[in-house]
Structure 1
């Protein structure tokens, strides 16, 4: 896994065991990738719809999942691995941290654990190609998304307006996970703001 990490995110390149040890109050760690296309007049974000047989059935989210300390050297390696497993896309750059969400989760046996999710703005190899010596965005219809069917059943490249409408109205196109699993929809809007500032 070779990918560029923005210098201000170097802290996330420390060994994952050290990262976890520095946060003894957290029992489990997750990551999320926000991937944008600039092939349209306005940016669009890749959202995946959770399988109806999985938790939060039918809800929309960015690629992501649990950090695996036994397999991942760093938190960012977790990000790269989960992005590939859930979308088939290869992270080329980790651009910025968008949000950190923490919440309490009750297991089936009744135990409570505290979870933290780190959401990052990333770029993927498949999102651009070289043309006449410059990098040009690839149309979303040509970006090869490959879903893991036990986890996700559909994908879409969503606009900021559609995400905003889905937050404000029950008539929106997308249903997002409900609290306490973090403010996922608001984090998506923050990701749009970061992209627009660049």
Structure 2
């Protein structure tokens, strides 16, 4: 895998899964999620990538950001797990991890934790989905996420608080653009 670019504040996530789990002993399972926002396509307005789960998968036909389980024995770091999951789920190559969005979402009595990052990808890449896992994708504007509709599709999210987290990501994205 190519080297990852990320701000120094994300160094705690550039550690092996075993190290992260040792520092968080109540957590047994880790999931990483990549919130991808870009302005290059299909227009100058920032858009977030949302993928729709397959009808035969858990949370059928609901929407989410790309992501999945950290492989304790195969992923060198949590950020490498993020890179792998984004590629597996969308065919997109991670260019940069820009910011941490959330590392507090837990379920199963605190035994499972989802860590969500704002990431950048190169603009010329195309999304490629595995139909066994995902049925569709959209590049939605902030207004479309807020309204729950994009290109005639209803955006019902798979997890509690997911819509709010995506909306928060737009604010973080704007803040990063101002800093640049």
When the two structures are superposed, what TM-score results if normalisation uses the length of structure 2?
Answer: 0.88
The CA RMSD measured in Å over matched residues stands at 1.8
Q: CA deviation at 1:172?
A: 7.5
CA distance in 1 between counterparts of 2:111 and 2:17 reads 18
Q: CA deviation at 1:115?
A: 1.2
Preserved CA contact (<8 Å) 1:147 1:154 = yes
When the two structures are superposed, what TM-score results if normalisation uses the length of structure 1?
Answer: 0.81
Partner of 2:56: 53
Partner of 2:113: 116
Q: CA deviation at 1:18?
A: 0.6
Q: 1:18 and 2:9 equivalent?
A: no
Q: Unaligned regions of 5+ residues in structure 1, if any?
A: 106-111, 128-137
Return the index of the structure with the highest Cα Rg: 1
Q: CA deviation at 1:61?
A: 0.9
Partner of 1:152: 134
Preserved CA contact (<8 Å) 2:26 2:110 = no
Preserved CA contact (<8 Å) 1:44 1:157 = yes
Q: CA deviation at 1:155?
A: 0.7
Preserved CA contact (<8 Å) 1:45 1:159 = yes
Q: CA deviation at 1:178?
A: 4.1
CA distance in 2 between counterparts of 1:115 and 1:12 reads 16
Q: Unaligned regions of 5+ residues in structure 2, if any?
A: none
